[in-house]
Structure 1
Amino acid sequence: MGSTTAENDHGPEGAGTTDLEGVGRRDLIKRSAALGLITVPTMSFLSACASGGGGDDDTSEDTQGEASESNPFGVKKGSKLDVVIFKGGYGDAYAKAWEAAFQKKWGVTSTHTGTQEITGKLQPRFNAGNPPDIVDDSGAQQIPIDVLYKNGQLLDLAEVLDSPSIDDPSKKVRDTLIPGTLDAGMQENKVVALNYIYTVWGLWYSGKLFKENGWEEPKTWADFLTICKEAKAKEIGGLAHQGKYPYYINVAIMDLIAKTGGLEAMKAIDNLDPKAFVGSDAAKAGVEAIYEVVEKGYLMPGTNGLTHTESQARWNQYKAVFITSGSWLENEQLTQTPDDFEMTFMPMPVLPDSVMPFEAIRAGSGEPFIIPAKAKNLPAAKEFMRMMLSREWSTLFAKEANSLTIVKDGVDTGVSLRPGTQSTVEVSKAAGDNTFRYLYTEWYSEMDTAIQNASNELMAKRIQPAEWLKRAQAAVDKQAKDPDSKKNRRD
């Protein structure tokens, strides 16, 4: 995934050990102790229009085989599967490996498309009632999940999730997943998108640059600003962000809000509270903290006008100390990162009187995979997704994309990851149950876009924090007027 919403999905934003606030941390620790893994995400911010959808009755006779205990959906040998993969931070080599394995087992050939132009390539197909069979709907040009759902174009994935696990047929597929990771793909209590990759979000820096300058990881915002000040004196930017995709700077803003005000401040935004932003001390503190970076000239020069890859490449050239991103960053930057860079992940530093500790991180599932309701080969699409949630395919993904999936104990021992990904594991261990995850990005794409647009203006100094709060609250209030919004709520 590349940005879960920027051009990686990433995508884009699980649950705690028992609920939505922290995602299966104990499961992650158990796996990472043996491997050293963690993964990635996805978010979205393009809206798109769509036309109506259909259901399982659209399956043609050409693709329906005979169902059996070992073939629960009736995959038909000799049929074809149309697969579209967002080719972002994770690339698409993993999907090609999956497709080869699928063909070997079922005799089903695949048409493979790897692209970053998800909306451009797929919106016309959805509108024409001719969508692919399975899609990794991620990146900056993601078709928003809520838009597709409202237009009846997504299959309810309950049948897949309630089918027997390939690894242990005595269990349902859903019972083999990290608790809470399905929540991000829910619309009106139905799972319509499978967020496949386990992701963390926060700040990244170069261990080499830190050592050369004698810096220590900043745990407070004051210490963060001190490093930015020292960097500026050395003609190095303090903070880089992917300016053309303000999803990324919202990682920092929204993390600060959640860590300062706690889970209640986060839930107020997801639940469209009339004081989610205006009237929220945490929101005010969070956006003012980011604006201080802008006002003091600590941004990397030019970062506001750069794409995610452009900004990240300059960061890899030591032109900035910090950058915001998710755990897909290392894999996305493999060709740009110097061998001795020592890419390192860290949680967002805390403001004074923060409810959450420094160690708290945003974590959950990203990179949404969907099965269109009008897919021509529904039996094969369902089985393909069931196999995605097997240990074999989860391990294939880890090998190809340096990331973990939502499958519990889903990677064979012996799979090693790079330094940055390993650092996400260490941070994740330190966080324990102190994890959080916003859901408004999946539930309300129009609201998400409006907040991102306000952040774009803020970073360019065209508006100040008070105006940002007004615009963000206006986006919340507008969304709250939609009757369908009452169907989504966090307790």
Structure 2
Amino acid sequence: MGSTSGTPATPRTPASPRTPGTGGLGRRDLIKRSAALGLISVPTMGFLSACASGGGDDDEKAKTVKKTKENPFGVAEGNDLDVFIFKGGYGDEYAKAWEASYEKKYGGEVSHSGEQDVTGKLQPRFNKGNPPDVVDDSGSKKMKLDTLYKEGHLTDLTQLLDAPSIDDPSKKIRDIMLPGTIEQGTFGGKFHALFYVYAAWGLWYSNKLFKKHGWEVPKTWDQLLDIMKDAKSKGIGGLAHQGKYPYYMNIVIMDLIAKTGGMDAVKAIDNLDPKAFVGNDAAERSIEAVYEIVEKGLLMPGTNSLEHTEAQTKWNEYKAVFIPSGSWLENEQAKQTPEDFEMTFLPLPLLPDSKMKLHAVRVGADEPFIVPSKAKNVPGGLEFLRRMLSKEGATDFARKASSLSVLGPEYVDKSVELRPGIKTALAAVDDCPVEERFNYRYSEWYGELDVEIQNATGELMAKRITPKKWLERCQKAVDKEAKKGTDKHRRK
């Protein structure tokens, strides 16, 4: 989410990333060979209730000029631009750099809003037909993209895909983004959202803590539990999770389902299968395994009631061994993390007879940016996205957010040094063959379904429902979505 101070995220976004190196970005050959992103984003629990259609005043629309190769959207000089950024795990300083670049090129005044409550701040504006020109829609209180799409609030960004790259006008934007980016932002067969951040999701731990207690990196679920049990005996929680935002715990649950059942299990959920959860052996085995952490008292005490940053800070204080999150975690916790913490990424360990291998990792495009269809300066919004998709834009993001964009590392200046923890996540991605990377799409395709699954997980982790009830609640939510019969998507 994904991305995220004040989020999850993403992927937020909280906000929401390859091989460790001694300088610059190091080797990124695999990504340079167009590593596939997969097809999901950081799920989030926030959602937008149906927007009123209200309309803006066409007379207030920004003026335009003749379109050229250098100015493919006809942006007129002097027009103001309104930018709204989810201020999560990636912060919002990177966006200010983009805004300065845009303002230098086109003049006018660029207004900046960095907030965490996206829905609370923007739903009234969408209802009145006066939304910002660019929106970073992420975090726990994001607007649901599927609702925005159905209500006609998203500009078709196909024209952005067909626009020339700023760095090499002989190339179109669609040709410089990593594979999977376009699919991730596609609704109704058209590209409506630019998921900008290259992110990975999994478990995290302190290598310093591991070395102190002599723990080996776990490869199996039983080994993971053994470390948690040993930690408990030493007064350390086995697992911290961001209890108020069950999205994070669903990283563990959904990754375990995917690695146990393979892509068939992933597609069953994304495709609203009548056996997505109930009758799905991978889902049943996975949720029972996760519940063992609850039953055996291996959770960090009090974690169920904590905000995401509260749980993460306690983890930084060595109160727990593991925590789930996306690759924005290190940037989000920069001020709370001890210098010698050695933050390290861990792809989820395996249950017996898993269909995916240990190195399989969830990876994809995160942090959606949209241009509202009723924005006053749609051409300016499109140009802003185009400038984000440049070497200057990608470098500004990497330098200020310590993460990679969906352009890949070759678009980042070699002077940029990523944080050490994010390098471990990128190394895990490099170690996983492209064809074995995975992700989900249901969270963006079906916002209400995502919320229902998260709610069920919150109840499970608080020991208020059983694994069987969790499966039934999730299946019921799937069946409810399937019965709507409209705007259904399908993964092949």
Distance in structure 2 (CA, Å) of the matches to 1:203 and 1:287: 17
8 Å CA contact retained: 2:5, 2:91: no
Is 1:261 aligned with 2:265? no
8 Å CA contact retained: 1:53, 1:373: no
Is 1:459 aligned with 2:456? no
Distance in structure 2 (CA, Å) of the matches to 1:324 and 1:8: 11
* 1:60 to partner: Cα distance: 4.5
Say which SS state the counterpart of residue 182 (structure 1) adopts. helix
Q: 1:436 aligns with which of 427, 435, 438?
A: 438
Aligned residue number for residue 7 of structure 2: 7
Say which SS state the counterpart of residue 168 (structure 1) adopts. coil
2:422 maps to a residue whose letter is T
**1:238-317 correspondence to structure 2 within 5 Å:** 238-317=238-317
8 Å CA contact retained: 1:4, 1:367: no
* 1:296 to partner: Cα distance: 0.3
2:476 maps to a residue whose letter is A
2:196 maps to a residue whose letter is Y
* 1:430 to partner: Cα distance: 1.1
8 Å CA contact retained: 2:12, 2:88: no
* 1:254 to partner: Cα distance: 0.4
What do residues 22-72 of structure 1 show as CA deviations (whole Å, max 9, x unaligned)?
xxxxx9544689xxxxxx963322222233559999585643233222111
8 Å CA contact retained: 2:390, 2:411: yes
Range that drifts further, 75-84 or 46-55: 46-55
What do residues 452-488 of structure 1 show as CA deviations (whole Å, max 9, x unaligned)?
11101100111111110000100100000112243x1
* 1:6 to partner: Cα distance: 7.6
Aligned residue number for residue 342 of structure 1: 342
1:174 maps to a residue whose letter is R
What do residues 289-342 of structure 1 show as CA deviations (whole Å, max 9, x unaligned)?
110000000000000000100000000000000000000000000000000000
2:336 maps to a residue whose letter is Q
Aligned residue number for residue 49 of structure 1: 49
**1:296-375 correspondence to structure 2 within 5 Å:** 296-375=296-375
Instruction: Summarize the Cα distance change of 1:102–1:216 in structure 2 as closer, same or farther, 3 Å threshold.
Output: same
| Identical amino acids, percent of aligned pairs | 57
Distance in structure 1 (CA, Å) of the matches to 2:168 and 2:93: 27
Say which SS state the counterpart of residue 210 (structure 1) adopts. helix
State the aligned residue count: 471
Structure 2 residues not aligned, in runs of 5+: 14-26, 34-39
* 1:5 to partner: Cα distance: 11
Distance in structure 2 (CA, Å) of the matches to 1:69 and 1:227: 58
Instruction: Summarize the Cα distance change of 1:101–1:66 in structure 2 as closer, same or farther, 3 Å threshold.
Output: same
Distance in structure 1 (CA, Å) of the matches to 2:89 and 2:299: 24
Aligned residue number for residue 380 of structure 1: 380
8 Å CA contact retained: 2:452, 2:477: yes
Aligned residue number for residue 419 of structure 2: 418
2:177 maps to a residue whose letter is L
8 Å CA contact retained: 1:146, 1:444: yes
8 Å CA contact retained: 1:59, 1:377: no
So what's the TM-score if we normalise by structure 1? 0.92
Distance in structure 1 (CA, Å) of the matches to 2:273 and 2:105: 50
Instruction: Summarize the Cα distance change of 1:308–1:211 in structure 2 as closer, same or farther, 3 Å threshold.
Output: same
Say which SS state the counterpart of residue 334 (structure 2) adopts. coil
Distance in structure 2 (CA, Å) of the matches to 1:43 and 1:354: 24
Distance in structure 2 (CA, Å) of the matches to 1:61 and 1:200: 39
Instruction: Summarize the Cα distance change of 1:188–1:253 in structure 2 as closer, same or farther, 3 Å threshold.
Output: same
8 Å CA contact retained: 2:148, 2:154: yes
Structure 1 residues not aligned, in runs of 5+: 14-26, 34-39
1:422 maps to a residue whose letter is K
Distance in structure 2 (CA, Å) of the matches to 1:483 and 1:368: 26
8 Å CA contact retained: 1:59, 1:378: no
Aligned residue number for residue 78 of structure 1: 78
1:439 maps to a residue whose letter is R
Say which SS state the counterpart of residue 405 (structure 2) adopts. coil
8 Å CA contact retained: 1:58, 1:374: no
Aligned residue number for residue 396 of structure 2: 396
Aligned residue number for residue 17 of structure 2: none
1:154 maps to a residue whose letter is L
Say which SS state the counterpart of residue 321 (structure 1) adopts. strand
Aligned residue number for residue 90 of structure 2: 90
Instruction: Summarize the Cα distance change of 1:366–1:5 in structure 2 as closer, same or farther, 3 Å threshold.
Output: farther
**1:477-488 correspondence to structure 2 within 5 Å:** 477-486=479-488, 488=489
Distance in structure 2 (CA, Å) of the matches to 1:57 and 1:363: 41
Q: CA RMSD in A?
A: 2.1
Aligned residue number for residue 446 of structure 1: 448
8 Å CA contact retained: 2:4, 2:89: no
Distance in structure 2 (CA, Å) of the matches to 1:338 and 1:5: 18
Say which SS state the counterpart of residue 199 (structure 2) adopts. strand
What do residues 60-97 of structure 1 show as CA deviations (whole Å, max 9, x unaligned)?
56432332221111111111000000000000000001
Range that drifts further, 177-186 or 152-161: 177-186
Instruction: Summarize the Cα distance change of 1:32–1:73 in structure 2 as closer, same or farther, 3 Å threshold.
Output: closer
Instruction: Summarize the Cα distance change of 1:410–1:53 in structure 2 as closer, same or farther, 3 Å threshold.
Output: farther
1:469 maps to a residue whose letter is L
* 1:182 to partner: Cα distance: 2.1
2:240 maps to a residue whose letter is A
**1:189-268 correspondence to structure 2 within 5 Å:** 189-268=189-268
Aligned residue number for residue 19 of structure 1: none
Instruction: Summarize the Cα distance change of 1:275–1:141 in structure 2 as closer, same or farther, 3 Å threshold.
Output: same
Distance in structure 1 (CA, Å) of the matches to 2:172 and 2:369: 19
Distance in structure 2 (CA, Å) of the matches to 1:349 and 1:59: 58
1:414 maps to a residue whose letter is S
What do residues 408-442 of structure 1 show as CA deviations (whole Å, max 9, x unaligned)?
42212232111101101211111122210100000
What do residues 116-137 of structure 1 show as CA deviations (whole Å, max 9, x unaligned)?
0111100000001000000000
Range that drifts further, 429-438 or 48-57: 48-57
Instruction: Summarize the Cα distance change of 1:80–1:107 in structure 2 as closer, same or farther, 3 Å threshold.
Output: same
Distance in structure 2 (CA, Å) of the matches to 1:128 and 1:385: 24
Aligned residue number for residue 490 of structure 2: 489
What do residues 182-227 of structure 1 show as CA deviations (whole Å, max 9, x unaligned)?
2222212211111000000000000100000001110100000000
Say which SS state the counterpart of residue 484 (structure 1) adopts. coil
* 1:281 to partner: Cα distance: 0.4
1:438 maps to a residue whose letter is Y
8 Å CA contact retained: 1:220, 1:350: yes
Aligned residue number for residue 125 of structure 2: 125
**1:138-177 correspondence to structure 2 within 5 Å:** 138-177=138-177
Instruction: Summarize the Cα distance change of 1:199–1:190 in structure 2 as closer, same or farther, 3 Å threshold.
Output: same
Say which SS state the counterpart of residue 9 (structure 1) adopts. coil
8 Å CA contact retained: 2:12, 2:89: no
Say which SS state the counterpart of residue 181 (structure 2) adopts. coil
